[in-house]
Structure 1
Amino acid sequence: MEKDFTREQRFLKAQKKVEEIKAFYTHLTVYCLVVPFIIFINLKFVPQFHWFWFTVCGWGFGLFFHWLNTFGFNLLGFGKNWEERKIKEFMNNNN
């Protein structure tokens, strides 16, 4: 019975990870499709001021952190593993 439970847990974790990866690639695709359109609009209507850099850099910064979060690079030490460790620590302290 416990084997089925752990197998189901692993399946649910894997399924969640696949959804996170899919969401990241969707985000990346939208970024790659929208940014050229924004650049075109900027250069067509206000060529003297390149405001598209604000969008490209700001959104790119957000996309970078989405990539870090999706593929497990955690700069601050928090994240999924941290949550699991803290839960186990609190459970052990209560016993």
Structure 2
Amino acid sequence: METNRSDKLKRAKRRIRELKGFYTHLTVYVVINSFILVNLLISNNYNGGEFWRWENFITLFFWGIGLAFHAAKVFGFNPLFGKDWEERQIQKYMERERREAEKYK
């Protein structure tokens, strides 16, 4: 009983740490990229209107991809290899093993 409670407490603390890490990551992303975008808007007035060049958004884009992967890990979103996929694969391999065992009987 005590071990089960201790395990639950450890899992809860780990989950809170993961959430806190993600929200910290998200906050830093928003703050830093806001400064970058404001700087681009301000400097846009001085360099002839080159705000929409793709080079200006490399950091925003690639860091955003990293943030999306972090969110997927923390919130358990995995469209390719979710829990259902794991269960189907386990059942598939168990069935294959059963058929092979019957073949050699």
TM-score using structure 1 length: 0.69
What is the CA deviation profile of residues 49-94 of structure 1, one whole-angstrom value per residue up to 9, with x for unaligned ones?
Answer: 632311111011110111000011124438xxx7xxxxxxxxxxxx
- Percent identity over the alignment is 36
Residue in 2 aligned with 1:62? Answer: 66
Q: Distance in 2 between matches of 1:69 and 1:13?
A: 15
Residue in 2 aligned with 1:34? Answer: 32
Q: What secondary structure does 2:78 align onto? A: coil
Tell me the CA shift for residue 11 of structure 1: 0.5
Tell me the CA shift for residue 36 of structure 1: 1.4
Where structure 2 has 5 or more consecutive residues not aligned to the other structure, the ranges are: 87-105
Q: Which deviates the most, 24-33 or 46-55?
A: 46-55
How many residues matched? 78
Corresponding letter in the other structure for 2:72: L
Q: Distance in 2 between matches of 1:34 and 1:58?
A: 13
Q: Is the counterpart of residue 48 in structure 1 residue 50 in structure 2?
A: yes
Q: Please, what is the CA RMSD of the aligned residues?
A: 2.3
Where structure 1 has 5 or more consecutive residues not aligned to the other structure, the ranges are: 83-95
Residue in 1 aligned with 2:89? Answer: none
Q: Distance in 2 between matches of 1:52 and 1:16?
A: 37
TM-score using structure 2 length: 0.63
Which runs of 4 or more aligned residues in structure 1 lie more than 6 Å from their structure 2 counterparts after TM superposition? none
